[in-house]
Every structure is written in structure tokens, then in C-alpha cells.
Amino acid sequence: MPDMKLAVRNDVLGRRRALSADAREQKSRAIADSLIELSVFKQAVTIATYLPLKSEVNLSSLLHLEHSAKRFVAPRTLSNFELSFHHITATDALEVGFGDVRQPLESADLVPLGTIDLFLVPLAACDRQGNRLGFGKGYYDRALANAPGFKLGVGFHCQLVDHVPVNSHDVPMNGFISERGLIQC
């Protein structure tokens, strides 16, 4: 199974890296615009986003939205391959965590997983059944295993595949959003 996951991950990430910076920016903007129109987004009060790494979909524009009723949180990587989620705004200072991921400062307000309504989850690949392929460390699977919020995989359409190999500990997504819109899983 690890070899199958690695093959899918390498193939899809190669396709994602092949997108030009302009194409990624344009597609990221289209994803963010579609996202804010979704009922699951409109109804959510606390939204877990992420700070993009390398060629990931960039949803940073969401932090600039003037939603008085929205609270955004972002993950911090912990030493035990787990995530904690902390309040974040567009103007907050950030630091670099494991894997060169930008993250909120440790002093930022910690937000309990059970209070997060919507998780925007980065991924390497996703299929139409909601099976998500991450980056191999299991951070999000551990965090989302008992989280009640809606889990929305975020990626470019080139990251949608026919089949993602899964293990028993892999947490499926409730949906996948790309520049072509939402797929309910």
C-alpha cells in the first residue's frame, strides 16, 4: 500500500507543480470565490484554514474577508505528529514549523477541535468518494479522526483522481473543492 500511495502522490504532485504560478494564482482565486458561496461556508462560524506550502491552493485571501461572524484558525505542527489549531488573522505574525510550514505563533489562542465548523484540508490527491491522500505523516488524519466539523478537501482539479488507496486510519472528506466547483462525497 505505501508504494501505491507514493506513486499516486508523486504523479499528482508532479501535475500540480507543472501548473504555472499564474495558473495556480488564478485557480486559487476561483476556488476561494466558489468557497465563500457554499452554504457550508456561510453557515460556519469557526473555519480551519491552512497556510499554503509550495504549490498548494492559496486560500490566504479568506483571512482578509470582513466577516464579523467568522473566526479563522490555522494548524500548528506538534512534535508528536499532531496538529493544534490556533486563532489567526491576516495581520498576525507567523513562524515556521515542521516541513517549513508557516503557522500561527504558539501564543495564539488555542481553539478546541470540537468548536471548528469547517475544516479546509490541503491534500496531495482526492477521489470522488472523499478519500484523501495527504503527504504521508498523518497529521490531518490524527486531527480529524474525532472532529465533528465538515471536512472539505481543497485542491486543483488535476489533484482529483479515480482512486486513492486508503488505510483504516485515513479520514475521508465530506467534499472536495477545486476551480471547477464542489464535489460532495
pLDDT digits (tens, 9 = 90+) for 94-137: 999 887 889 999 999 999 999 999 999 999 999 999 999 998 78
168: containing domain:
2-184
Q: What is the mean pLDDT of residues 55-62?
A: 95
Q: What pLDDT score does 77 carry?
A: 92
The pLDDT, as a whole number, for residue 44 is: 96
pLDDT band with cut points at 50, 70 and 90 for residue 2: low
Structurally, the chain folds into a number of domains equal to 1
Largest pairwise CA distance in the chain: 46
CATH code (residue 96): 3.40.50.10420
- What mean pLDDT is reported for the chain? 94
Task: Write out the three cell numbers for 141.
Answer: 488524519
Q: Which of 2-11, 60-69, 94-103 has the lowest mean pLDDT?
A: 60-69
Taking only the tens place, the pLDDT of each residue in 65-88 is 866 689 999 999 988 889 999 999
What is the structure's pLDDT at 68? 66
The pLDDT of residue 101 is: 87
pLDDT in tens, 140-161: 999 999 999 999 999 999 999 9
CA atoms within 13 A on the CB side of 175: 18
Predicted confidence at residue 66, as pLDDT, reads 67
**Strand ranges (DSSP E) for 78-149?**
83-87, 94-96, 102-104, 110-111, 118-122, 125-126, 132-133
